[in-house]
A and B are shown apart, each in its own frame.
Chain A
Amino acid sequence: MRFHTFVLKNVLRRRIRSTLTLTGVAAAVGMFVTLVGISDGLQATLLDLYQQRHIHLIVSRSDAVNPMAGTLPEKLGQDVAALDGVQGVSPGLVDMLSFDNLGINGVVVQGWPAGAFMFRELTILEGQGLTVESRGKKGIMLGKDLAKNAHLKLGDNVEVSGENYRVVGIYESKSDIENNWAVLLLEDAQKLTGKTGLITGLTVRLKDDSDESIKAARAAIEGPVADKLRVKGKVQAKPPQEFLNTQTQLRAFKAMAWAVSVVALLMGMLFMLNTMIMSVFERTREIGILRAIGWRPSRVIRMILMESVLLSLGGAIVGTVGGIGLTLLLSRLPLANGAIPNSLSPAIMAKGFVIALVVGLLGAAYPAFRGARLLPTEAIRHE
């Protein structure tokens, strides 16, 4: 018999209690991998999207609570495009609008000027894209998932915030989020949102992506360009990673995910502590016997810690599998709007296991210490 076999047999001894403890840890780990996984995944998806499109800088309003809230003059796009080292600029106006005739509220609509490089990042599945010729024709492009969920086909009419638009194209983006959005020409979006001459941000491609080049472009945009348009101090130009890190909504979601996970993990740890204390207390005499027949205190500690770690890693396996299932399920809900990635990264699963290990070790530390401190003679007398 190997020592780990002995440990396993001890764990299997109280099947109901072990199962409950394992379930408690599984719930905590499952919650962690799901919530933190989704929040990390969302950020990673967005980052990936920016990187795929070779976007080096995102220019937005620095005092805006969210990217849709703050506006900048449209002319900023031309001024930035005129800078040395800038390869291309795509101004955009993003807002949430409603499809009145369909009773759908809160559709994210992006407005881009005809010919903007962002149009080339979308694959047209049906119909055509919005071009210079589309001006004044009130056309709208829908992401494939939005079209599917809203049961809209090419040529259908959509009443966008009180105005009729016709579906001229259905596109596919590499981003699931964008597949749930719609695209209008910038001037149409400005009109619908009442933000004539304004944009919510710019995406900027540079000729070379060296740190120096990015730094120089940032300085120029936030300095002289902003100054010229009298928005100095209100413009920020950030690389995608930095931009996403400072997004209030993403940060709030991340903070919430961590807060809930930490509470769940603390509860898991208390659960483990309770289980292991009971287990040690019940086996007081047995531990006394083990000590009497020569077991060192360190072996008693090892036994208790290994039992706990076995339970917590079991919980991690169950919790991770549950988390993968839950994430997949959530990502398929229409409510998710493509904002929930359908898989968890190996990194978050590894984190789940490490955290479970810590939960197991911390939860069992005190019981193990108590077990090891038992005096054999007193422990054997224990009733």
Chain B
Amino acid sequence: MSKHEHPPGNGNGVLLRAEHLTKLYPDGQVNALVDVTLEIRRGEYVAVMGPSGSGKSTLLNMLGALDRPTSGETYFEGRPMSQIPNWNRLRAQKIGFVFQSFYLLPVLSAMENVQVPMFESPLPASARAQRAVELLEEVGLGHRIHHPPEKLSVGERQRVAIARALANEPVILLADEPTGNLDSKSAADVFDLFAALHRQQGMTIVLITHDDALGRRAERIVRMQDGQVRSDMPSPGPQAAGAPACGSATPAAVVGPPVGLRVVPGVSSRRPKSILPPFAVPDRG
């Protein structure tokens, strides 16, 4: 069982609360963030959208304990972040990051890349390796564990990066334009993966996207402009976009029950062998 006990769909507890966050970069007069107040509940799936320079990434950095606000406070599980002395530990244990450019280490295999964050965990080497294999199987890359990033397709690379973000069993996944460098089909697969993580493991996810159609697949959409939150409302759902979101993803696969989910005996129900819908499983690249 996972170390963080949050049944899927539990939307009651507040995981992250940003209060009047303002960020002013010293080099420019531009306010990257202006008085942003926001709550992320446990198990929520939030898309942050907005034009370039609207403060999305700055906000994500504040939520992810990567940067300090000029003023305001962020509360992580009720604790003010300014009073948490060790942000490294917070990031290592509670937060998983996914980046637009994946940032996998080129000299390491997929499996080794997933193990990199686990150096900060007490797991012995053998357990780290085993967990990396399990995670790669979960993201549908069980057949690619020894491949270096250069031998993987961009979509596969991002799935390795997601497996890496999950390495230390975080309570929240923060993704900064995770599909920005992907073709539409790979982007859809990655979104399917986020959707499955959210739906089946109750993972709290905050992701930044430019893509309206993909953003609608989240439960809630926060729209930003000029460093401020312009709107914060439930997603109208992918159907509202008219045509299917993208690629081969179908609405049923996105919001419906976990069709065709393979649960392998011996592996926790929170950790199925693969959380990808069958259509997205292996063999591309």
A296–B120 contact, CB under 8 A?
yes
A297–B116 contact, CB under 8 A?
no
Q: Which residue of B lies closest to A375 (CB)?
A: B67
Q: Which residues of A in the span 189-210 have a Cβ within 8 Å of any Cβ on B?
A: none
Residue among B88, B92, B99 with the highest chain A CB neighbour number at 10 A? B88
B61–A377 contact, CB under 8 A?
yes
Q: Does B128 count as interface, using CB distance less than 8 angstroms? A: yes
A293–B97 contact, CB under 8 A?
yes
Q: Does B246 count as interface, using CB distance less than 8 angstroms? A: no
Which stretch in B77-85, B102-110, B135-143, B277-285 binds the other chain?
A: B102-110
Q: Which residues of B in the span 64-112 have a Cβ within 8 Å of any Cβ on A?
A: 64, 66-67, 88-89, 91-93, 95-97, 99, 103, 105-108, 111-112
Across-interface contacts of B116 in A (CB, < 8 A): 6, 290, 293
A296–B88 contact, CB under 8 A?
yes
**In angstroms, how far is the closest chain A Cβ from the Cβ of B104?**
9
Q: Does A136 count as interface, using CB distance less than 8 angstroms? A: no
**In angstroms, how far is the closest chain B Cβ from the Cβ of A234?**
70
Tell me the bound Cα distance from A299 to B93 in angstroms: 15
- Interface mask (A9-22 → B, CB under 8 Å = 1, otherwise 0): 11011000000000
Tell me the bound Cα distance from A377 to B89 in angstroms: 16
**In angstroms, how far is the closest chain B Cβ from the Cβ of A315?**
21
Which residue in B99, B108, B120 is a CB contact (below 8 Å) of A295? Answer: B120
Across-interface contacts of B105 in A (CB, < 8 A): 286
Which residue in A3, A12, A290, A295 is a CB contact (below 8 Å) of B107? Answer: A12
Contacts A1-B129, A376-B66, A377-B67 known; A295 to B61 CB distance under 8 Å? no
Q: Does B125 count as interface, using CB distance less than 8 angstroms? A: yes
A292–B112 contact, CB under 8 A?
no
Q: Does B199 count as interface, using CB distance less than 8 angstroms? A: no
B91–A293 contact, CB under 8 A?
yes
Q: Does B9 count as interface, using CB distance less than 8 angstroms? A: no
Contacts A292-B91, A294-B89, A295-B92 known; A285 to B103 CB distance under 8 Å? yes
Q: Does A291 count as interface, using CB distance less than 8 angstroms? A: yes
Tell me the bound Cα distance from A289 to B91 in angstroms: 11
Q: Which residues of A in the span 276-314 have a Cβ within 8 Å of any Cβ on B?
A: 285-286, 289-297, 299
Q: Which residue of B lies closest to A13 (CB)?
A: B107
Contacts A6-B108, A377-B61 known; A1 to B117 CB distance under 8 Å? no
Q: Does B22 count as interface, using CB distance less than 8 angstroms? A: no
Q: Does A151 count as interface, using CB distance less than 8 angstroms? A: no
B120–A294 contact, CB under 8 A?
yes
Give the size of the chain B interface in residues (CB under 8 angstroms).
31
Contacts A294-B88, A295-B88 known; A1 to B125 CB distance under 8 Å? yes
Contacts A286-B105, A293-B91, A295-B119 known; A1 to B66 CB distance under 8 Å? no
Tell me the bound Cα distance from A380 to B99 in angstroms: 10
Across-interface contacts of B107 in A (CB, < 8 A): 9-10, 12-13
**In angstroms, how far is the closest chain A Cβ from the Cβ of B276?**
23
Q: Which residue of A lies closest to B92 (CB)?
A: A294
A293–B164 contact, CB under 8 A?
yes
Across-interface contacts of B103 in A (CB, < 8 A): 285-286, 289, 380
B99–A289 contact, CB under 8 A?
yes
Across-interface contacts of B106 in A (CB, < 8 A): 13
Across-interface contacts of B120 in A (CB, < 8 A): 294-296, 299
Q: Does B54 count as interface, using CB distance less than 8 angstroms? A: no
Tell me the bound Cα distance from A292 to B61 in angstroms: 10
Give the size of the chain A interface in residues (CB under 8 angstroms).
24
Tell me the bound Cα distance from A346 to B105 in angstroms: 41
Q: Which residue of B lies closest to A285 (CB)?
A: B103
Tell me the bound Cα distance from A289 to B107 in angstroms: 15
Q: Does A120 count as interface, using CB distance less than 8 angstroms? A: no
**In angstroms, how far is the closest chain B Cβ from the Cβ of A55?**
59
Q: Does B200 count as interface, using CB distance less than 8 angstroms? A: no
- Interface mask (A229-259 → B, CB under 8 Å = 1, otherwise 0): 0000000000000000000000000000000
Across-interface contacts of B64 in A (CB, < 8 A): 292
B115–A1 contact, CB under 8 A?
yes
Q: Which residue of B lies closest to A297 (CB)?
A: B88
A3–B88 contact, CB under 8 A?
no
Contacts A1-B112, A377-B61, A377-B66 known; A291 to B88 CB distance under 8 Å? yes
A292–B119 contact, CB under 8 A?
no
Across-interface contacts of A2 in B (CB, < 8 A): 125
Tell me the bound Cα distance from A290 to B97 in angstroms: 11
Residue among A6, A291, A299, A375 with the highest chain B CB neighbour number at 10 A? A6
- Interface mask (A358-383 → B, CB under 8 Å = 1, otherwise 0): 00000000000000000111001000
Across-interface contacts of B117 in A (CB, < 8 A): 293-295
A294–B93 contact, CB under 8 A?
yes
Q: Which residue of A lies closest to B97 (CB)?
A: A292
Q: Which residue of A lies closest to B90 (CB)?
A: A294
- Interface mask (B116-159 → A, CB under 8 Å = 1, otherwise 0): 11011000010011000000000000000000000000000000
Tell me the bound Cα distance from A3 to B168 in angstroms: 16
Across-interface contacts of B96 in A (CB, < 8 A): 293
**In angstroms, how far is the closest chain B Cβ from the Cβ of A113?**
74
**Interface pairs A-B: 5 shortest CB-CB:** A294-B92, A294-B91, A293-B117, A289-B103, A296-B88
CB<8 Å pairs between A and B, sample of 19: A1-B115, A3-B119, A6-B116, A6-B119, A292-B66, A293-B92, A293-B96, A293-B97, A293-B117, A294-B92, A294-B93, A294-B95, A294-B117, A295-B88, A296-B88, A296-B89, A297-B88, A376-B66, A380-B99
Known contacts A1-B128, A292-B66; can you find 5 more A-B pairs with CB under 8 A? A1-B108, A6-B116, A9-B112, A292-B91, A294-B120
Binding site for B on A (CB under 8 A): 1-3, 6, 9-10, 12-13, 285-286, 289-297, 299, 375-377, 380
Binding site for A on B (CB under 8 A): 61, 64, 66-67, 88-89, 91-93, 95-97, 99, 103, 105-108, 111-112, 115-117, 119-120, 125, 128-129, 164-165, 168
